[in-house]
Amino acid sequence: MNPETSMETATPYAPVALEFWYEFGSNYSYLSVMRVKELAEQYGVPIVWKPFLLGPIFKSFGWESSPFVLQKEKGAYVWQDMARECVKYNLPWKCPTSFPRSALLPMRVALLGADKPWIVDYNKRMMQVNFVEDLDIDNEEIVSKVLTELGLPASQLIAEAQSEDNKRRLRAQTETARQRGIFGAPTFFVDGTLFWGNDRLQDALIFAAGLKILPLD
């Protein structure tokens, strides 16, 4: 056994994975999608990508839209907050002229790519289309354009994304989100512990890296 292996064995807490639950229609998911890869690498934490649909979650609460639409006082604030957050994180930002944007097709494609290397860039590009280019994202034209830019077989992936099996998988993943107590996006799970919101991304990574033990209840 060489000293390096020995040191690794002696590490009290091996990093566990960060489950990253996100939605392309969610503005606070945009912040995390743009930040998570680089930040997770700093902490040595692997990411498990968990695309899901927010709409059915909100419907299960009896809501017909995003709380940012339904509660107008909070809605008015959110766009000021987003502009400031993007300055803070040095991210481009254009307030969307349509919100929340439907993201069914791009989320189905994300589910296909969740365990592929291209998921990182695909997520970022779809988010930029929504929150920087201010364009609708739930159509074949834009999804095809993004996939092609990434050098991927767009027609094939879109056909696969729209297969009954893949549609069923996204519904099942969304139902899992609901059952696990997810009530918004982004949400992070680390070893069964839920962290909600871009504001908790770093805390979740610190917890995943085992740098600090946080109480579980």
Instruction: Give the contacts of 131 (CB within 8 A, at least 6 positions apart).
Output: 27, 30, 93, 94, 96
Q: Is residue 32 annotated as a catalytic residue, yes or no?
A: no
Is residue 84 part of the contact set for its own copies (CB under 8 A)? yes
Is residue 64 part of the contact set for its own copies (CB under 8 A)? no
**Quick one: which segment of 9-17, 46-54, 70-78, 135-143 binds its own copies (CB under 8 A)?**
70-78
| Number of residues located near its own copies, criterion CB under 8 A | 29
Is residue 193 part of the contact set for its own copies (CB under 8 A)? yes
Phi, psi of 176, rounded to the nearest 5 degrees: -60, -45
Is residue 14 part of the contact set for its own copies (CB under 8 A)? no
Contact with its own copies (CB under 8 A) among 38, 73, 115, 165: 73
Is residue 191 part of the contact set for its own copies (CB under 8 A)? no
Cβ distance to its own copies smaller for residue 46 or 181: 181
Sign (positive/negative) of CA torsion 173, 175, 178, 180? negative
40 vs 34: CA distance, rounded Å:
12
Q: What's 95's DSSP letter?
A: -
Residue type (1 letter), 211? L
35 vs 142: CA distance, rounded Å:
23
Catalytically active residues, by annotation: 26
> Which residues lie near its own copies (CB under 8 A)?
61, 71, 73-74, 76-77, 79-81, 83-84, 87-88, 181-184, 193-196, 199-200, 203, 212, 214-217
